[in-house]
Structure 1
Amino acid sequence: MITIKDIANAAGVSHATVSRVINNGPKVGDETRKRVKQVMQELGYRPNANARALVTQKHSALGVVVAELLDPFFATLAHGIDSVARQQNIQLLMSAGSIEKDTELQAIDTLMQHRCEAMVVHSKALDDDTLIEFAGQIPGFVLINRYIPQIAHRCVWLDNTAGGKVMTQHLLDLGHRKFAVISSRYQIDDPSERLQGIRNTLHAAGLTLDDSHIEYSSPDQKGGEHAMRHLLARGVDFTAVLAYNDAMASGAMTTLSDHGLQVPTDASIVGFDDVLLAKYCHPKLTTLHYPIEMMAVKAAELALAYARGEPTSTTHTYKYTPTLVKRDSAAQVHPR
């Protein structure tokens, strides 16, 4: 691990000068500051937020890393965190990771540079070891929507496999036996975990899900349209559709309508997340409620508690389970 001593030796300055640069302290010339920062970058050094906390005796802001700023799901997540920040009179700083490794790393580093000792991070691209390292550097580092066993007490996460089970069982209870799935093409755990829940539940019912009945696309409305067009073009026989999220479900319903098929008369569809769109699309979308705002509040409270050094359990896990919201897009199967 690169230390302040290594930086000082490489830059030809004192340990105190490096410390002043890390903490944006005074009495450092512009050229010296620039040289030290360049050495830090070349050696891959990331300032330890624990050490800075001892210097500043405070955390100046609550940092948040989300995948996308415009996505309704992440807007709800941010709203939950913001409510805690306002209640505790803490500044909120937000950055987007875009589900890309380098961008997520840059987003976290940017928040560290702004002295965020409390941080709620939604990361899907960074590996476990990197996130475990950050958890050791940042006093109030908390992951949301991800579970890593080594730092389980810093993870607020959803049981996606259980969600896949619930949505599938609901359609089985309605008499459906012919299924299609539209899923996200992003290489993250959520789609595969939900798909595993779907497969397990169908298997328990004596059914199998053929790979040709699964279509992958971007997790948005256009992706839902694209996936449904491909399913219809291939002549896939289904009476029920399981969608990765509400946006994809909405896009799929548009494509079904464009092809003269009615929901739920010709095909039932179930979404996931229960964002605002689900309640106001037509027909209203049956979906799985993802308690993301509740989870975000818990994650923010936990991050601030860790940053303050308050006693918290290191054995407790923060697992949440999605619940079914019945609306109008799923109904009893119609005989053909």
Structure 2
Amino acid sequence: MSTINNVAQAAGVSTATVSRVINRSSNVLPETVERVEHAMTQVGYQTRDNRRLAINQGGDTIGLILSNFNSPFYGLLTQGVEKVARKYNRKLIVASGQYDPDLEEEALSYLLSKGCRNIVMHSKAMSDERLTHFASKLPGLVVVNRRVHEIEEQCVWLENRKGTYLATKHLLDQGHKKIGYISCEMDIDDKAERYSGYQLALEEAGIPVNPDWVEEVPFGELGGALAATNLLNKGLPITGLVSYNDFFAAAAIQVFSEHDISVPERLSVVGFDDVLPQCYFTPRLTTIRSPIESMAMNAARLCIEGPDSGVCRRFEPLLVRRESVATI
């Protein structure tokens, strides 16, 4: 168990200073309070009744940690948090974790050093154990777009597995038997959950998963193009395709079009997220809607209002039927 000496050493101050911070003495500089609080989080120091969490509450700010900045998905997520921040007259401070556990932890430490005690975190790299560790010490920390069972009350998430199940089932209902899947190669919770939904729908239909029809590719449009190219090199043995996200779907459809593979006449495609304008797609894309802005708003409310806020934590995916799926 961590001691006051561990905190003092980590913060570079005396044990007397740590004691004054814990007891909310008025004769401690704010920057020293921040440094000591940060050290407490680092070493896992706890006081009776979680008293230290009341120090420097940062009541005029709300923090947001994104996995990245470069997609409409994260724009909508930020927009949702910002709407709630404005309602509560909070300043929004944003940092990025870049899908890296160390950078996610660094971003969290940065926000804590700025006095943020209400933080919405989109974490895809940090382990469940580390998230649970931080959440147990920071009741104002809420994880969005991920479900961690140990801290479920501090999470807002989408039923990803159900989303790809609905997408695959929709193709099956239109007569498709040979259905491929574009997955991301990064080892994150969404990857496993979404693949599981695709797999479940096929198994229920009595169709074994063919690994040759599953492409794991890097994030971004280049990944979708690579998946389409790989499937074309295999002779395109499928008539239906479920995509991990709309970006993969958009790039794949472009490659197919360049090789005179028409959608949906030759190949039906279903995306996921519904965050890209439909001008990106010809024909308009059938997809699974992920209500990320609403999820972000609820996460922000939860981190400010607390567990009794009554906000919805568990969100359901919705199949949006457009023009990229044909009956065979």
TM-score strictly above 0.5: yes
CA distance in 1, matches of 2:228, 2:300: 38
Q: Equivalents in 2 of 1:276, 1:324: separation in Å?
A: 15
Name the structure 1 match of 2:326. 331
Deviating more after overlay: 130-139 vs 84-93: 130-139
Partner of 2:211: 211
- Residue deviations 1:39-61, cap 9 Å, x none? 959x9536879655533355231
User: Aligned AA for 2:14?
Assistant: V
SS in 2 for 1:73: helix
Deviations 1:262-320 (CA, angstroms, capped at 9, x unpaired): 111110100000013346422211100001111111100000012xxx7457xx97211
TM-aligned CA deviation for residue 87 of structure 1: 1.3
Instruction: For residue 195 of structure 1, report the CA deviation from its aligned partner.
Output: 1.2
1:283 is paired with a residue whose SS is coil
Deviation at 1:160, TM superposition (A): 0.9
Q: Counterparts of 1:269 and 1:191 in 2: how far apart (Å)?
A: 18
Counterparts of 1:217 and 1:89, CA distance in 2: 42
Which residue is 1:318 aligned to? 313
Is 2:264 the partner of 1:264?
yes
User: 2-side partners of 1:279 and 1:325: how far apart?
Assistant: 16
Question: How has the CA–CA distance of structure 1 residues 12 and 174 changed in structure 2, closer, same or farther, with 3 Å as cutoff?
Answer: closer
Q: In structure 2, what is the equivalent of residue 141 of structure 1? A: 141
Instruction: Give me the whole-angstrom Cα distance separating, in 2, the residues matched to 1:75 and 1:9.
Output: 40
Alignment-derived partner of residue 296 in structure 2 = 296
In structure 2, C-alpha distance between the alignment counterparts of 1:117 and 1:175, rounded to whole Å: 52
Q: Which moved more, 1:271-280 or 1:84-93?
A: 271-280
Q: Secondary structure at the match of 2:325?
A: coil
> What are the ranges of 5 or more consecutive residues in structure 1 without an aligned counterpart?
none
Label 1:52 to 1:279 Cα distance change in 2 as closer, same or farther (>3 A): farther
Deviations 1:229-283 (A, max 9, x none): 0111122401111100000000100110111111111101000000133464222
The answer as to 2:56 corresponding to 1:56 is yes
* Counterpart Cα distance in 1 of 2:42 and 2:301: 31
Residue 15 (str. 1) matches residue 16 (str. 2):
yes
The number of residue pairs the alignment matches comes to 319
State the match for 1:91 in structure 2: 91
In 1, the alpha carbon distance for the partners of 2:61 and 2:144 equals: 18
Residues 65 and 122 in structure 1, CA contact (< 8 A), matched pair in contact too: yes
Partners of 2:192 and 2:28 lie apart in 1 by: 53
Distance in 1 separating the partners of 2:79 and 2:226: 30
Secondary structure of the 1:276 match is coil
Q: Which moved more, 1:4-13 or 1:46-55?
A: 46-55
Q: Deviations over 1:75-112 (max 9, x none)?
A: 11111010100111111111111111111111111111
Match of 2:275 in 1: 275
Partners of 1:4 and 1:15 within 8 A in 2:
no
Kindly tell me: are residues 211 and 323 of structure 1, through their superposed partners in 2, closer, same or farther at Cα, counting changes over 3 Å? Answer: same
Counterpart of 2:322 in 1: which secondary structure? Answer: coil
Q: Is the 8 A contact 1:52 1:115 kept in 2?
A: no
User: Is 1:184 the counterpart of 2:181 in the alignment?
Assistant: no
* 2:65–2:123 contact (8 Å) kept in structure 1: yes
With normalisation by structure 1, the TM-score equals 0.86
Q: Is the 8 A contact 1:269 1:329 kept in 2?
A: yes
> Residue 187 of structure 1: CA displacement?
0.2
1:20-99 counterparts in 2 under 5 A? 44-45=42-43, 51=51, 53-56=53-56, 58-99=58-99
**Rounded Cα–Cα distance in structure 2 between residues aligned with 1:71 and 1:145:** 15
Structure 2 CA distance for partners of 1:8 and 1:204, relative to 1, 3 Å:
closer
8 Å CA contact 1:184–1:217 kept in 2: the answer is yes
Contact 1:288 1:322 in 2 (8 A): yes
1:161-189: CA deviation from partner (whole Å, max 9, x where unpaired): 11111001111111111111111111011
Question: Which residue does the alignment assign to 2:101?
Answer: 101
Distance 1:27 1:82, change over 3 A: closer
Distance 1:203 1:223 in 2: 27
1:2 aligns to what SS in structure 2?
coil
* In structure 1, C-alpha distance between the alignment counterparts of 2:94 and 2:228, rounded to whole Å: 35
Judged with a 3 Å threshold, the aligned counterparts in structure 2 of structure 1 residues 19 and 264 are, in CA distance, closer, same or farther, namely farther
Distance 2:82 2:158 in 1: 20
Question: Normalization by structure 2: what TM-score?
Answer: 0.88
What percent of counterpart residues are identical?
Answer: 34
- Structure 1 residues 271 and 262, CA gap change in structure 2 (3 angstroms): same
Classify 1:12/1:142 alpha carbon distance in 2 versus 1 (closer, same or farther; 3 Å). Answer: closer
Partner of 1:104: helix, strand, or coil? helix
